[in-house]
């Protein structure tokens, strides 16, 4: 197993369009940091151009569920997001990037240019973390979030091993457990924000059906957990 590593991106000067790239765990796949202007706001988004033969399991507002996905988009929107059609908004950003085919789109009010990444054994986790509105998952009945708010802790995981359906779902659960562990290790009294989202991207399985497990003590689940923990911890520490 390769040694775990973590890299954090320094916020750019915001002058370029394509500012930097994140090397992903999938062979020859890259996540690009891009920028755009919307109604006077200078905003950033990350784009993963996955290509054919990749499946994603996701809780994303656009393209959620399990299935083939050609791209992933994590888009920054202004605080107090006013739109009621986030899926159409994300589809418009994707179209402007030339993205075609099915994809998964996430939103966040966090500064996407301040994304953090960590790698472990071929797994890459990329995180955008904004923790201004945080709390515990099991909150009292009267402590409800609005019907929609842009997710503020978004996690995108890529790995080179094919996973079964069950393992893909297990990978999302493992990533979520690692996120909570990292938030606690960062000294935050929360399990996340009300609208966090996760995407796990892996090659489509062949006749063997793919890896059957992705829990935290399986080979790939353990790598996912360590990568997500490192990336979330790096993003959460400035908020303490």
pLDDT tens, residue by residue, 81-130: 888 899 999 999 999 999 999 999 999 999 999 999 999 999 999 999 98
Residues 159 and 223: beta-carbon distance below 8 Å: yes
User: In sequence order, what DSSP letters do the residues of 77-113 get, joined into one string?
Assistant: --TT---S-HHHHHHHHHHHTT--SSEEEEEESS-GG
186, pLDDT greater than 70: yes
Dump pLDDT digits (tens) for 197-219: 999 999 999 999 999 999 999 99
DSSP assignment letter at 72 = E
Quote the percentage of the chain above a pLDDT of 90.
70
Interatomic CA distance for residues 121 and 2, integer angstroms: 5
For the ranges 24-38, 40-54, 163-177, 199-213, which has the lowest average pLDDT?
24-38
Alpha carbon distance 58, 63 (integer Å): 8
């Amino acid at each position: 197993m390769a040694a775990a590593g973590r890299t954090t991106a320094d916020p750019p000067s915001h002058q370029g369009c394509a500012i930097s790239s994140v090397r992903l765990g999938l062979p020859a796949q890259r996540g690009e940091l891009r920028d755009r202007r919307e109604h006077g706001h200078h905003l950033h988004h990350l784009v993963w151009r996955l290509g054919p033969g990749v499946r994603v399991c996701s809780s994303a507002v656009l393209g959620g569920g399990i299935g083939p996905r050609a791209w992933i988009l994590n888009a920054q929107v202004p605080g107090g997001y006013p739109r009621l059609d986030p899926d159409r908004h994300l589809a418009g950003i994707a179209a402007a990037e030339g993205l075609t085919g099915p994809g998964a789109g996430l939103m966040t009010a966090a500064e996407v240019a301040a994304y953090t990444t960590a790698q472990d054994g071929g797994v890459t986790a990329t995180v955008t973390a904004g923790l201004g509105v945080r709390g515990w998952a099991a909150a009292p009945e009267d402590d409800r979030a609005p019907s929609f708010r842009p997710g503020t802790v978004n996690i995108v995981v890529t790995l080179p091993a094919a996973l079964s359906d069950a393992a893909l779902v297990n990978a999302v659960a493992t990533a979520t457990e690692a996120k909570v562990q990292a938030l606690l290790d960062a000294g935050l009294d929360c399990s996340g924000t009300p609208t966090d989202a996760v995407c796990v991207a892996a090659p489509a399985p062949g006749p063997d059906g793919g890896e059957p497990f992705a829990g935290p003590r399986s080979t790939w689940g353990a790598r996912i957990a360590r990568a997500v923990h490192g990336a979330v911890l790096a993003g959460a520490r400035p908020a303490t």
